[in-house]
Amino acid sequence: MTLPNAYAIRIQKTGGPEVLEVEAIAPRAPGPGEALVRQTAVGLNFIDTYHRSGLYPVKLPATLGSEGAGVVETVGEGVTAVKPGDRVAYLAGGTYATHYTGRAESMVKLPETVSEEEGAALMLKGLTAWMLLFEIRTVKAGDEVLIWAPVGGVGSILTPWAAHLGARVIAVTSSEEKAQKARALGAAEVVVGYEGVAAKVRELTGGKGVDIAFDSVGKISAEASLGSLKPRGWFITYGNASGPVDPIPPSRLAQGGSLIMTRPGVFNFLQAPGALARGAGLVFEALAKGVFKADIGQRFALKDAADVHRALEAGKTVGATVLLP
């Protein structure tokens, strides 16, 4: 299948943002059970930088990208879930491109109230927040939770959603500017800066500690998260913004009071039949109710992906970022 101006952002080797290259590439015709989508928006996620750098190995050469949205152009044999003209969003590998071909059953139809940019910005981040709040240790009214990076892509969804569920959110961020936004999103308290976090959290909780630490920062935050937990609290480490977490011996969990540690990945929570529809349904429902917004902080041309990665890794993005083919 040949389409004019079709291209993908690919890497031939791992490394810095400079390895991202624009390459003319023909979209693959859909096979049985598949659909071809003309993408109108692509989501940006920190995991994309892990694939690019080699932290999370991928088979090379590779097209990066973890989520996207657009309009179905054609479908393969046996496809009934979507049809040409449908607006869809999805989690998938290889979405840094003008077109995406993949399993139709992995695509979610967008409600009329949700734009394609919102769909691309929300799928991975929204479903990650759903997983964290509902699928691991269910957050309930009265819980006290610690959220790192509260105004980032996932954080800007996780913070207001947790607050909506009745949790008292204590956020940790790097600047007063971001702290103000965290408060606007629903954080009851904000710790600014990464020094002495555990002591400050304990002070804010009357010495008890929090029920759950949602930690996307990784290497420099793990010990502070552990030190912030009450006995039998949950350390949910789900990102590596500062680098991968150093090994933690089981004895450290015992010393903290029988702590529970998990490193979840959202795709493992979407394997069960109906899980994707259930999770996406809750995300879109919460969006419609105004619990959170698809906080698109910036838009870039897809061809400028290298510059986007530099901005993301330098902490210069706020909220979600979408790439426009």
Assess if residue 282 is contained within a domain: no
Question: Which residue range forms the structural domain that includes residue 308?
Answer: 7-115+294-324
What total of structural domains would you count in the chain?
2
Assess if residue 20 is contained within a domain: yes
One domain for residues 58 and 181: no
Assess if residue 213 is contained within a domain: yes
One domain for residues 170 and 233: yes
Per the CB < 8 A criterion, the answer to whether 64 and 51 are in contact is: yes
Per cent of the chain over pLDDT 70 is 99
Ranking 28-37, 131-140, 161-170, 295-304 by mean pLDDT, the lowest is 295-304
7-11/21-24 β-pairing: antiparallel
One domain for residues 215 and 242: yes
Per the CB < 8 A criterion, the answer to whether 101 and 233 are in contact is: no
The domain spanning residue 154 has which CATH number? 3.40.50.720
Over range 118-127, report the average pLDDT.
91
Q: Which amino acid is at 147?
A: I
Write the CB contacts of 201 (distance below 8 Å, at least 6 apart in sequence).
Answer: 146, 170, 191, 209, 210, 227, 228
54 has pLDDT over 70: yes
Assess if residue 122 is contained within a domain: no
The domain spanning residue 75 has which CATH number? 3.90.180.10
Residue that finishes a domain, picked among 229, 250, 266: 266
Q: Quick one: three-class SS letters along the chain?
A: CCCCCCEEEEECCCCCHHHCEEEECCCCCCCCCEEEEEEEEEECCHHHHHHHHCCCCCCCCEECCCEEEEEEEEECCCCCCCCCCCEEEEECCCCCECEEEEEHHHEEECCCCCCHHHHHHHHHHHHHHHHHHHHHCCCCCCCEEEEECCCCCCHHHHHHHHHHCCCEEEEEECCHHHHHHHHHHCCCEEEECCCCHHHHHHHHCCCCCEEEEEECCCCCCHHHHHHCEEEEEEEEECCCCCCCCCCCCHHHHHHCCCCEEECCCHHHHCCCCCHHHHHHHHHHHHHHCCCCCCCEEEEEEHHHHHHHHHHHHCCCCCCEEEEEC
Q: Could you report the per-residue pLDDT of 18-28, keeping only the tens digit for each?
A: 999 999 999 99
One domain for residues 233 and 318: no
Q: Which amino acid is at 176?
A: E
Closest alpha carbon to 90 in 157, 42, 44: 42
118 has pLDDT over 90: yes
Report in angstroms the alpha-carbon separations of 48 from 35, 38, 45, 251.
23, 21, 6, 33
One domain for residues 28 and 99: yes
Angle at CA of residue 215, ends 194 and 299, nearest 5°: 90
One domain for residues 244 and 313: no
Assess if residue 59 is contained within a domain: yes
Structure tokens at 137: 């240790």
The pLDDT of residue 152: 85
The pLDDT of residue 85: 97
78 has pLDDT over 70: yes
Which residues share a beta bridge with 91?
A: 67
Over range 281-300, report the average pLDDT.
91
One domain for residues 304 and 253: no
Assess if residue 1 is contained within a domain: no
The pLDDT of residue 5: 85
pLDDT band at 45 (very low <50, low <70, confident <90, very high): confident
Per cent of the chain over pLDDT 90 is 83
pLDDT band at 1 (very low <50, low <70, confident <90, very high): low
Per the CB < 8 A criterion, the answer to whether 284 and 293 are in contact is: no
pTM of the complete model: 0.85
Query: In angstroms, rounded to a whole number, what is the distance separating the alpha carbons of residues 194 and 209?
Result: 17
**Mean pLDDT of the chain, nearest integer:** 94
245 has pLDDT over 80: yes
Assess if residue 83 is contained within a domain: yes
One domain for residues 79 and 174: no
One domain for residues 255 and 146: yes
Over range 66-70, report the average pLDDT.
94
Write the CB contacts of 306 (distance below 8 Å, at least 6 apart in sequence).
Answer: 17, 18, 20
One domain for residues 139 and 262: yes
One domain for residues 253 and 134: yes
One domain for residues 139 and 104: no
The pLDDT of residue 3: 60
Q: Could you report the per-residue pLDDT of 145-184, keeping only the tens digit for each?
A: 999 999 988 999 999 999 999 999 999 999 999 999 999 9
The pLDDT of residue 178: 94
Which residues share a beta bridge with 63?
A: 10
Over range 31-48, report the average pLDDT.
95
Assess if residue 26 is contained within a domain: yes
